[in-house]
């Protein structure tokens, strides 16, 4: 539905008043009404790099979820303030790995006598605490666009990887990109004693996958792929690597949101695509490419928006920009210094990946 013209005018006016003092970042899963006001858009890797692109901006308004705003705070100067328009915009996947659970897991690995061989690799979609844990133990962060490089790097540092918190990205990258077998992977369940694994299983594993998943991408199924192939003959199935292994294995193409956009830009006229990622992005792409005669459909109509990404809407953005324009700092996301220093180490290892 079209945005309320009054709110659009207010957002415009407040943004104009703030001028160079504000820098608005928008993740690809954000609503159209929000993306319209973003100075840059991107996937989580691009936004992590772009966050520091405007050091003169006093405020960075992050239209995305909590862990992204934390990462932006870690990667930008102390005088830059990162603001999240709705503090309830979290990520259910990031919440699946708490600092206590991960510390307990490290104790389990230590008791099994393997902690020294293990390099943690944590998905961007994790709290600053988990990133700090990763940095402290010699590991790196990765996103869906550099997971293969991150795993290759980690296997140069040690024999085993503890991959947090998305089991699917970890498994898909290990099997699809590194050619490992499913038997090389074990699943660590933080709700069970010893992760639900025996010492022998831990010692034999190359990839220890944390039992976390995305509540949106995890809902696409093999049936979704089969049904769309039946419905639309000749369709290309393109999915995000946060999808289950069987979905990724059945798809034609797999990649991060930035990859998905580039693939559709390069697609020939008349081609047909079923996309397995967040609905805001898929709808935007379907509209954008309809003019080029590319048919783009959502992989499974029963899957819905990411509810936390969607919390950032035009009213929240207006409230944020108007508050900042009046000199009122609201909803600042600030990571404490100790956590920041170790988390930064892990993020910088990612940014330095070959
Ligand atoms: P990317 O932005 O890395 O594609 O990740 C998708 C996602 O789920 C972000 O929350
Ligand atoms: Fe988290 Fe999934 Fe939403 Fe991304 S799409 S913010 S991983 S719940």
Q: State in Å: Cα 193 to ligand 2 middle.
A: 27
Q: How far apart are CA 304 and CA 310, in angstroms?
A: 11
pTM of the model: 0.96
Q: Which residues are annotated as a binding site?
A: 27, 44, 91, 123-125, 144, 214, 240-242, 257, 306
Distance (angstroms) between ligand 2 centre and the Cα of 181 equals 27
pLDDT score, position 3: 86
- pLDDT at residue 1, rounded to an integer: 67
**Nearest atom within ligand 1 for CA of residue 214:** 8
Which pLDDT score is estimated for 48?
87
Whether 306 is in the pocket of ligand 2, judged by its Cβ within 6 Å, is yes
Which ligand 1 atom lies nearest to the CA of residue 144? Answer: 3
Contact 256 CB / ligand 1 (< 6 Å): yes
Task: Domains for the chain: give ranges and CATH numbers.
Answer: 5-91+309-336 (3.40.50.10800), 94-212 (3.40.50.10800), 217-298 (3.40.50.10800)
Closest CA to 222 of 300, 167, 298, 304: 300
Query: Which atom of ligand 2 is closest in space to residue 64's alpha carbon?
Result: 6
As a whole number of angstroms, the longest Cα–Cα distance in the chain is 63
With the C-alpha atoms ordered 303, 228, 42, 168, is the resulting torsion angle positive or negative? positive
Of 32, 36, 31, 30, whose CA–CA distance to 11 is shortest? Answer: 36
Ligand 2 centroid vs 114 CA: distance in angstroms? 31
Q: Quick one: pLDDT at residue 77?
A: 87
* Mean per-residue pLDDT pooled into runs of 10, the chain (354 residues): 91 98 97 97 91 95 98 94 98 98 98 98 98 98 96 98 98 98 98 98 98 98 98 98 98 95 97 97 96 96 95 98 98 97 97 93
Contact (Cβ atoms closer than 8 angstroms) between residue 332 and residue 59? no
Task: Tell me how far the alpha carbon of residue 198 lies from the centroid of ligand 2, in angstroms.
Answer: 31
């Amino acid at each position: 539905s079209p945005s309320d013209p009054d709110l659009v005018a207010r957002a415009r006016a407040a943004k104009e008043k703030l001028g160079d003092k504000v820098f608005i970042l928008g993740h690809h899963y954000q609503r159209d009404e929000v993306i319209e006001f973003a100075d840059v858009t991107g996937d989580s890797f691009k936004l992590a790099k772009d966050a520091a692109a405007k050091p003169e901006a006093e405020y960075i308004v992050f239209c995305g979820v909590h862990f992204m705003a934390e990462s932006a705070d870690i990667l930008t100067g102390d005088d830059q303030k990162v603001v999240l328009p709705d503090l309830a915009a979290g990520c259910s996947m990031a919440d699946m790995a708490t600092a206590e659970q991960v510390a307990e897991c490290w104790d389990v690995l230590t008791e099994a006598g393997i902690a020294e061989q293990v390099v943690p690799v944590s998905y961007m979609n994790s709290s600053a605490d988990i990133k700090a844990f990763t940095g402290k133990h010699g590991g790196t962060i990765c996103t869906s666009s550099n997971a293969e490089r991150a795993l290759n790097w980690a296997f140069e540092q040690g024999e085993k990887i503890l991959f947090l918190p998305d089991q699917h990205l970890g498994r898909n990258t290990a099997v699809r990109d590194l050619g490992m077998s499913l038997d090389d992977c074990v699943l660590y369940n933080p709700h069970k004693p010893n992760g639900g694994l025996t010492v022998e299983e831990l010692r034999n594993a190359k990839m220890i996958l944390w039992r976390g998943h995305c509540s949106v991408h995890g809902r696409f199924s093999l049936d979704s792929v089969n049904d769309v192939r039946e419905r639309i003959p000749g369709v290309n199935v393109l999915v995000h690597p946060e999808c289950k292994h069987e979905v990724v294995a059945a798809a034609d193409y797999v990649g991060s949101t930035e990859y998905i956009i580039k693939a559709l830009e390069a697609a020939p006229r008349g081609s047909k695509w079923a996309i397995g990622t967040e609905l805001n992005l898929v709808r935007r792409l379907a509209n954008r490419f309809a003019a080029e005669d590319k048919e783009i459909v959502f992989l499974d109509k029963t899957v819905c928006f990411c509810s936390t990404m969607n919390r950032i809407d035009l009213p929240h953005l207006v409230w944020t920009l108007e508050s900042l324009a009046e000199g009122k700092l609201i909803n600042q996301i600030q990571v404490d210094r100790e956590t920041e220093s170790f988390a930064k180490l892990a993020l910088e290892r990612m940014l330095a990946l070959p």
